[in-house]
Structure 1
Amino acid sequence: MAESERAKMAAGEWYTCLDEELETLRGVAADAVFEHNTLPPKQRGNLGPGLRALLGGVGEGARIEAQFHCAYGFNIFLGDGVFLNAGCTILDTASVRIGKGTLLGPNVQIYCAEHHRQAAGRQAGLEIARSVEIGAHAWIGGGAIILGGVSIGEGAIVGAGAVVTRDVAANTTVVGNPARAVKRS
């Protein structure tokens, strides 16, 4: 029996996103995100109930402002006191772990999926999922983009609009496209 596309995705192998099971899971996430984004703020609280149930882990006091978008949700793990500002997008085809006290500015984007480099592969929906890890007490500036396979160390700062294509050491500030270190504290 062939391995499922979901199992290939979880194993970090090439898989096709044009799969019925994955489409169903994205639909479940879309419903939870819709609820979160449309509930009145006082009813929603820090997280809409459907989104809280969907996420892989939610620490105490973690908050996601609306509007928010994610691909699957179950691959997202938020530490205590994590804050995601309005407009954040997490395409969580792989694990996304955000450490306690970390702040994401508005419109931060995290992309775990890497599409195939060959046009025929892209047309077939081939992707590979690469995880993202952000350490505790990091600050990700508004509009930053973090690509899959990246680790951002504890206390690091990613400047607004930066495109992070490789690991960022702890207590380091990076800016630009591609992001490069400008300061280490």
Structure 2
Amino acid sequence: MDLFLKMDSEEARLANREKMRQGELYYAFTPDLIAARSRCTKACRRFNHAEDVPRRHLVELWRDLVQDKTPLPPVKDDPEEDEALFENEPWIEAPIRMDYGFNVKVGEGVFINANCHIIDTCQVTIGARTMFGPNVHLYSGTHPLDPALRNGTKGPESGKEVHIGEDCWLAGNVTVLPGVTIGKGATIGAGSVVTKVRIYFLPIAPSLELCRYLRCANHLGCPCFPFGLGQSSKGYSKD
């Protein structure tokens, strides 16, 4: 334990980070991980405080937040043409909060509404064209249940990956717990806490009984009528 608490060697620091990535017990309050969270906090602040700025600058701030090193395309002289270059980039409503940022992977055409909080101890992926309502929380971090082992800031933590598939809709105030995979096309109702369920959208034949149960309407995109989902993109998905 002292080895990881002191982190007096590069080998120990790398081993601790690898344990975090793998979902094993690790120590969060080490100098390098504290610095990583501090970097992310500052990047979140810069993104959240950006107001009337060009789309290019927002994308640049977002990529800095999630440590995406993909170079931006060359600037177009016409502002509208330049903005069109980023039409497939995620659209993020501030404020957003993350722990590290580098463990978050977001696909094309994703919309994340305000007050999203992502604890990205382990990898968190959000598939292309998925939409979040306000106050959606994704938790990939957790703590030991034994209070003696938990031991406040001196004890170890762990985590499990969270994967949200393509074409999903998570309504407002949804909370997703560690280890959950939400399958492609799923809809999660407002206020839900998703614990262990793996959910997929299943196109089905029209059903009046199901329509009554869901209180849905065809003109609102009733799931009782098959529709074509978008194609996979350069975004992230977990089948």
TM-score if structure 2 supplies the norm length?
Answer: 0.67
Cross-structure match for 2:232 = none
Cross-structure match for 1:119 = 147
2:198 to 149, 160, 168: 168
2:113 to 85, 95, 110: 85
Aligned in 2, Cα 1:9/1:95: closer, same or farther, shift over 3 Å? same
1:97 to 125, 132, 136: 125
1:11 to 22, 26, 32: 22
Q: CA deviation at 1:43?
A: 4.2
Per-residue CA deviation, residues 16-72 of structure 1 (Å, 9 max, x unaligned), is: 111111100001100100000111143466845333123155993211110110000
Query: Unaligned stretches of 5+ in structure 1?
Result: 173-181
Work out whether 1:22 is the aligned partner of 2:22. no
Q: CA deviation at 1:126?
A: 1.7
SS in 1 for 2:63: helix
Q: CA deviation at 1:12?
A: 1.6
More helix by share: 2
Which amino acid is 2:166 matched to? A
Cross-structure match for 2:81 = none
Q: CA deviation at 1:164?
A: 0.3
1:150 to 158, 175, 180: 180
Q: Which moved more, 1:51-60 or 1:74-83?
A: 51-60
Work out whether 1:34 is the aligned partner of 2:45. yes
SS in 2 for 1:133: strand
Q: Which has the larger radius of gyration?
A: 2
Provide the aligned C-alpha RMSD in A: 2.3
Cross-structure match for 2:158 = 128
SS in 2 for 1:136: coil
TM-score if structure 1 supplies the norm length?
Answer: 0.86
Distance 1:90 1:47 in 2: 19
Distance 2:66 2:109 in 1: 15
Which amino acid is 1:68 matched to? I
Distance 1:45 1:164 in 2: 34
Aligned in 2, Cα 1:168/1:11: closer, same or farther, shift over 3 Å? closer
Q: Which moved more, 1:99-108 or 1:42-51?
A: 42-51
Query: Unaligned stretches of 5+ in structure 2?
Result: 1-10, 71-85, 203-212, 215-222, 225-239
More strand by share: 1
Which amino acid is 1:147 matched to? L
